[in-house]
């Protein structure tokens, strides 16, 4: 999967930084991210792009992607974008809207963008799109509390 292609219409620079990618790879190995199949495509402080292929394990009883699955992808992107600068940020709350659905065989792409960041809090916006047609299936907003410790302490 080519992250340049994924963001070509998002009017964003796509360069990643090594520290952010290292943090992303570590987050990607978490149990929940692994179970859901979440993959980091690109990351730098305050921004990232992550993907999740939809399988039958992501569906609800009417065979569309469960709201919790697309939220989880957005929440992972929120976590990576807010921690990618190296200071630990903890999610306080988040909201999500579901303008459209997705289904088995789709691939979802989430792009997280930092809107504000102060010493103690930060606000992030995440758009979740179907890769095939770029349709928005989720709009997510989240707020973090910034702690004083570093993410690097947790990585090996």
SS (H, E, C) the chain: CCHHHHHCCCCCCCCCCHHHHHHHHHHHCCHHHHHHCCEEEEEECCEEEEEEECCHHHECCCCCECHHHHHHHHHHHHHHHHHCCCEEEEEEEEEEECCCCCCCCCEEEEEEEEEEECCCEEEEEEEEEECCCCCEEEEEEEEEEEEEEEHHHHCC
Residue 98 binds a copy of itself, judged by CB under 8 A: yes
Number of residues that bind a copy of itself (CB under 8 A): 53
Site map 17..56 versus a copy of itself, x via CB under 8 A: ---------xx-xxxxxxxx------------------xx
Residue 119 binds a copy of itself, judged by CB under 8 A: no
Tell which one of 2, 4, 9, 62 touches a copy of itself (CB under 8 A): 62
Residue ranges that bind a copy of itself, judged by CB under 8 A:
26-27, 29-36, 55-62, 65-69, 71-73, 75-76, 79, 91-100, 115-116, 118, 120-121, 123, 125, 127, 136, 139, 141, 143, 145, 154
């Amino acid at each position: 999967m080519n992250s340049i292609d994924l963001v070509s219409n998002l009017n964003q620079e796509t360069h990643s930084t090594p520290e952010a990618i290292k943090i992303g790879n570590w987050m990607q190995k978490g149990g929940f991210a692994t179970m859901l199949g979440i993959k980091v495509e690109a990351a730098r402080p305050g921004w990232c792009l992550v993907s999740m292929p939809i399988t039958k394990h992501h569906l609800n009883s009417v065979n569309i992607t469960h709201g919790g699955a697309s939220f989880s992808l957005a929440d992972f992107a929120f976590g990576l974008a807010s921690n990618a600068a190296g200071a630990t940020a903890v999610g306080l709350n988040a909201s999500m809207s579901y303008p459209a659905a997705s289904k088995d065989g789709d691939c979802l792409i989430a792009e997280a963008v930092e809107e504000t960041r102060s010493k103690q809090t930060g606000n992030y916006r995440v758009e979740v799109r179907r890769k095939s047609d770029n349709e928005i299936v989720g709009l997510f907003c989240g707020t973090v509390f910034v702690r004083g410790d570093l993410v690097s302490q947790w990585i090996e």
